């Protein structure tokens, strides 16, 4: 197992493995996405309070989960970069940032569209919404800082520090509805002892969450392969390609 991880950390080995997995991940993503959307938009019954408008949560909730998950992955990669200076961790960190920013933006947009019929406005300076917006700015900050520094190794250490410091916002987002008075509804799916939704509603959300996770890996592999070619363009294995 250790040997496998060691090989995976090698840029040429990772490039080849990622290339083999990309078609399979694409097929899995499309199947999960179709199943999740069909379950959420067709099979799930209307909500007794919100009617049909609640169906946006089948995109909103998984997007919000992914916005947090990807940032935690980036912070973990940041620790690896600072401690072990692993080149592949640098690539995964910076390649994850645009994907995480996209999920965060999608969560904010779908949340605003849901908030208009529920709250009467697209936006309020609620604790959950504000902290999620800060997360989007953190993603933008990491992308901007990386682009502002020409030396890739120096840029990697700088964005690693920012990712590690910014991870404090993740538990703030998660617990904001419990720590402060919030218009945002509390957790509905994480109460496994007594969930607030019937299986016909929360199972499609879980399928969509899995589809988005597969998409993240798919997009990450694509971006990592491009970034590796850019960084290793003068190496022998890239010339052989």
Per-residue pLDDT reduced to its tens digit, 100-110: 999 999 999 99
Question: Does residue 10 belong to any structural domain of this protein?
Answer: no
Question: Does residue 129 belong to any structural domain of this protein?
Answer: yes
Question: Does residue 107 belong to any structural domain of this protein?
Answer: yes
Q: How many domains does the chain have?
A: 1
Gap between the Cα atoms of 202 and 188, Å rounded: 9
Question: Does residue 5 belong to any structural domain of this protein?
Answer: no
Mean pLDDT of the chain: 90
Query: Nearest-CA neighbor of 100 among 111, 92, 110?
Result: 92
Gap between the Cα atoms of 180 and 142, Å rounded: 28
Q: Which residues have CB under 8 Å from 202's CB, separation 6+?
A: 188, 189, 195
**Residue 81 belongs to domain spanning:** 16-240
Question: Does residue 126 belong to any structural domain of this protein?
Answer: yes
The pTM (predicted TM-score) of the whole model is 0.93
Question: Does residue 223 belong to any structural domain of this protein?
Answer: yes
Q: Read off the pLDDT band of 115 (50, 70, 90).
A: confident
* H or E segment to which residue 205 belongs: helix 199-231
pLDDT of residue 6: 55
Share of residues in the chain with pLDDT > 90 (%): 69
Question: Does residue 11 belong to any structural domain of this protein?
Answer: no
Question: Does residue 9 belong to any structural domain of this protein?
Answer: no
Quickly tell me which residue has 């496994």 as its tokens: 192
Average pLDDT over residues 29-51: 92
Q: Which residues have CB under 8 Å from 22's CB, separation 6+?
A: 218, 221, 222
């Amino acid at each position: 197992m250790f040997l496998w991880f060691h090989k995976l950390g090698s840029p040429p080995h990772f490039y080849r493995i990622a290339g083999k997995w990309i078609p399979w991940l694409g097929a899995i993503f499309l199947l999960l996405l179709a199943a999740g959307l069909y379950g959420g938009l067709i099979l799930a019954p209307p909500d007794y309070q919100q009617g049909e408008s609640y169906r946006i949560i089948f995109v909103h909730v998984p997007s919000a989960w992914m916005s947090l998950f990807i940032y935690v992955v980036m912070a973990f990669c940041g620790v690896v970069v600072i401690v072990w200076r692993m080149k592949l961790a640098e690539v995964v960190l910076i390649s994850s940032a645009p994907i995480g920013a996209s999920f965060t933006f999608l969560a904010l947009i779908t949340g605003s569209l849901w908030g208009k019929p529920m709250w009467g406005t697209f936006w309020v300076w609620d604790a959950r919404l504000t902290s999620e917006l800060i997360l989007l700015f953190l993603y933008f900050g990491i992308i901007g800082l990386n682009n502002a520094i020409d030396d890739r190794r120096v840029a990697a250490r700088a964005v690693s520090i920012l990712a590690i410091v910014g991870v404090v916002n993740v538990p703030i987002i998660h617990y904001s509805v419990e720590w402060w008075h919030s218009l945002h509804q509390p957790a509905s799916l994480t109460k496994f002892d007594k969930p607030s939704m019937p299986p016909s509603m929360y199972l499609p959300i879980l399928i969509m969450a899995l589809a988005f996770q597969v998409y993240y890996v798919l997009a990450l592999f694509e971006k990592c392969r491009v970034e590796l070619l850019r960084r290793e363009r003068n190496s022998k294995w890239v010339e052989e390609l």
